Structure 1
Amino acid sequence: MSFLFNFPSPDEDTSTASQPFTFSFSPIPNSASSSADEVPAAEKDTPAPSSQAAHAPTKEHVFQCTIESAPSENPDDKSAENKWNNFAMDNVGLFFLCPQWIDRNILATSLPNLLGSQPSQNGDVVKSDIVPKVYEGGFRVWDGACDLLVYLISESPVDFQGKKVLELGCGAGLPGIYALTKGATVHFHDYNADVIECATLPNILKNLKPIADGVDESRVRLFSGDWLSFVRFLRVEKLDDDPLAEDNRYDVILTGDTVYRQDVLSSLAFALPRLLRKEGTVYLAGKSIYFGLNGGTEEFRQEITKENLIECVDSKVYPDCVQREVLNPIELIANDQVTRSVAVLNARHTGSSGL
């Protein structure tokens, strides 16, 4: 078993700037149809936790997959060869935008305010990989996404054909893209709309380009916003047998490095059982501990025991200087008495950041 990333050499010339990579995107209004095929907006009278007042409401973004919309390269652009990285393992190859290319063509020009960038003494822009509750690192491919791919491809292959899949905290979207290529319907969700527009979407289109004319556009949906607003957007707050709510939930949820901060764990533990179908499974990848942030898989295990709605049955450990693991299966606990008041549940999560 082996996998590799095709990263540009540290000695590459980064002085040549290519043209900005842009897409036309329009948020879908939150007044969507309430049918099972079109996910409805949240009910206006649903009480929101006070902790969500300053966070990101859910938006859906238009997806079009055609030969014309797929990324194309200018053969005369010498920097284009360094635009894409490649994840390769066994017979799987997935492309994603090179972080250095994103730095030069997106972050440096379009997102300094989002990232909280500040000029240094020499006038250069200093960027942060993460600004909590503002930018959650979606333009980087983290270890969790790599571990998820290794696990799904080699360690415990999953039959995605016909499954409804959510990649939560998707960023570059590689695990979700892999599921998409294996026949799943995939919804991608990230905190930042800019990440969805400038990273997730281009990566999807790049990997689907060879089969663009054969892709059903209804198999892909793109969302941005915080986790709790997404739960309300789908109208899945209550753990009951409502057919519409169950249809809006997912067979498989993929998520990597979303447990890195302790203050988001309660929101994640709140969201997962409400987004998961009765026979569904969560694959969660992360480090056992994130030093300085107090998050990690161990803290997440403790968090999900508080409500006793989902449980982690097993995990695959990847030894490193800091232990990494994929928690799977994470499943709903069989319980006939799970229907509880959403107001009570929301009250228990006051104070969480709710990514």
Structure 2
Amino acid sequence: MFKFDFDLDLDSDDEMSSPPPPPSASTSTAQPEPEQAPVPAQPFQEILLKDLISHLPAEISYSPLPLPAPLSPLARRDLFDARFQRMGVDLPEGGEAQDQADEDEEAWGPETDLVKGVYEGGLKTWECAVDLVGVLSREVVKEQGWRAVEGKSVMEVGCGTSIPTLYLLSVLLSKPPPGPSDPLPPPTSFYLLDYNKLVLQLVTLPNILLTFRHLFPTPPDSPSPVPTNLPPISEDEDLSHVPVFHPSDLLSSLPLPSSTLSSFLSLLSERNIHLSFFSGSWSSFNLPPSPGGKMDLILTSETVYQSLNLKPLTTLLRESSYPTRKGWMGEQGEDGTLVLVAAKVLYFGLEGGGVEGFLEVVRKEGSEREGGEGGWTEEVWRSGKGVGRWVGRVGWERG
């Protein structure tokens, strides 16, 4: 069981503190628990949208999440509300099953950020997800708007609260609705991957519904549920000082009657948007083939925190990508996959995690095959304030 010593997540119950100094030879900023027998990895499985909808509560509490200027905030389910719903999940009782249930309850509690093989931190929103939204806004969406998203296959790996996907959905849904005689738009597919099925139930789908309701309030002339006058954050701001909005400041809730869910499903059909959800270990992922068998855009943030994650992650990224030349940014007439990765430069207390370890694995990934060659890397953005943060592109010219 492990908790990051830097308290930079965007769901803290208090004002976020400054990051700690780097560890020295005599001190350590994090003390992981003694090694225990490894927990078997969760198997890969697809979770149907209708299954996730069946687990939604009658109402969800939410707060606005500020985004880099000039973007408007996103609505995001409150962490306390997700954990409260988690407490109501049926758990086994008696003997070993009860012991496992007790361990799971502790793993999902407020004092825990990571329990390897049990819970991988997906309930919280981490600051690199916000960094990734900033890069998407400047590098992908700025020139093309909704056209940068429509008709694409998009995968978010380790999605958790799915902030980058929420942003892209809001961009896509900003397109004027089709008229009665207009043809169906080209299909846009979102593949959302998280280790924990419960994360998909508790925050991923609820946040997507909040984005839908933000853009399409009922009745149509009612105000948006997300205030638009919140202060945006600057491109390179140290997010440890960004104010956190809690229910005590802006108490908001969204009822989820069947009419809201029906409207949501109708909108997806009208816009030809497909949502697919998957849980389990990256090493066992076997995604259904998208058109061409590959993705157009792959996003991941805060997923390189442990060395054990790096090889399965990079293999998944490579196998889901078209062959892509270095420097390709989606030019027409040329296939490729834009893979954007956001991470902290270093994860204190976790051996082998961070940007440099990840980039080393990318450069080797694929080279072990006959005639294969490793991947390429390219820095897009970096912040040296607080705990260093980085966003970069990776790819493989031979796939």
Per the alignment, residue 260 of structure 1 pairs with 305
Secondary structure of 1:313's match?
strand
Per the alignment, residue 87 of structure 1 pairs with 65
Q: Does 1:220 align with 2:200?
A: no
Which amino acid in the other structure matches residue 152 of structure 1? Answer: L
Which structure's residues are more often strand, by fraction?
1
Question: In the TM superposition, what is the alpha-carbon distance from 1:53 to its structure 2 partner?
Answer: 9.9
1:10–1:187 Cα change, 3 Å = same
Question: In the TM superposition, what is the alpha-carbon distance from 1:321 to its structure 2 partner?
Answer: 2.2
Which amino acid in the other structure matches residue 331 of structure 1? Answer: G
Long gaps (5+) in structure 1: 12-51, 74-79, 120-124, 235-243, 339-355
Question: In the TM superposition, what is the alpha-carbon distance from 1:247 to its structure 2 partner?
Answer: 2.5
Q: Does 1:103 align with 2:87?
A: no
* Aligned counterpart in structure 2 of residue 164 of structure 1, from 153, 165, 169: 153
Question: In the TM superposition, what is the alpha-carbon distance from 1:110 to its structure 2 partner?
Answer: 6.1
Q: Which has the higher contact order (CA 8 A, sep 6+)?
A: 2
Per the alignment, residue 21 of structure 1 pairs with none
1:240-251 → structure 2 map (5 Å cutoff):
247-251=292-296
Question: In the TM superposition, what is the alpha-carbon distance from 1:157 to its structure 2 partner?
Answer: 3.1
Deviations along 1:64-93, one digit per CA (max 9) or x if unpaired, are: 59x9998764xxxxxx7xx21212333433
* Aligned counterpart in structure 1 of residue 47 of structure 2, from 47, 58, 61: 61
Distance 1:92 1:319 in 2: 25
1:109–1:222 Cα change, 3 Å = closer
Deviations along 1:291-311, one digit per CA (max 9) or x if unpaired, are: 111301111011111234421
Larger mean CA deviation between 292-301 and 314-323 belongs to 314-323
Question: In the TM superposition, what is the alpha-carbon distance from 1:285 to its structure 2 partner?
Answer: 0.3
* Aligned counterpart in structure 2 of residue 299 of structure 1, from 350, 353, 357: 357
* Aligned counterpart in structure 2 of residue 146 of structure 1, from 126, 130, 140: 130
Which amino acid in the other structure matches residue 124 of structure 2? Answer: R
1:169-248 → structure 2 map (5 Å cutoff):
169-183=158-172, 184-209=188-213, 210=216, 212=264, 213-216=266-269, 219-230=274-285, 232-234=286-288, 247-248=292-293
Distance 1:259 1:6 in 2: 18
* Aligned counterpart in structure 2 of residue 132 of structure 1, from 104, 109, 116: 116
Question: In the TM superposition, what is the alpha-carbon distance from 1:207 to its structure 2 partner?
Answer: 1.3
* Aligned counterpart in structure 2 of residue 287 of structure 1, from 344, 352, 373: 344
Secondary structure of 1:250's match?
coil
Question: In the TM superposition, what is the alpha-carbon distance from 1:227 to its structure 2 partner?
Answer: 0.9
Distance 2:12 2:312 in 1: 37
The RMSD of aligned alpha carbons is 3.4
* Aligned counterpart in structure 2 of residue 318 of structure 1, from 383, 389, 393: 383
Distance 1:92 1:118 in 2: 35
How many residue pairs get matched?
Answer: 266
TM-score between both structures, scaled by the size of structure 2: 0.59
Long gaps (5+) in structure 2: 1-8, 16-37, 92-99, 143-147, 173-187, 217-262, 324-335, 366-372
Among all aligned residue pairs of Structure 1 and Structure 2, give the percentage whose two residues are the same amino acid. 27
Distance 1:222 1:247 in 2: 19
TM-score between both structures, scaled by the size of structure 1: 0.65
Deviations along 1:107-152, one digit per CA (max 9) or x if unpaired, are: 5866893864459xxxxx7741210121100100012211111221
Which amino acid in the other structure matches residue 280 of structure 2? Answer: G
Q: Contact 1:288–1:296 (CA<8 Å) still a contact in 2?
A: yes
Q: Contact 1:71–1:206 (CA<8 Å) still a contact in 2?
A: no
* Aligned counterpart in structure 1 of residue 101 of structure 2, from 110, 113, 130: 113
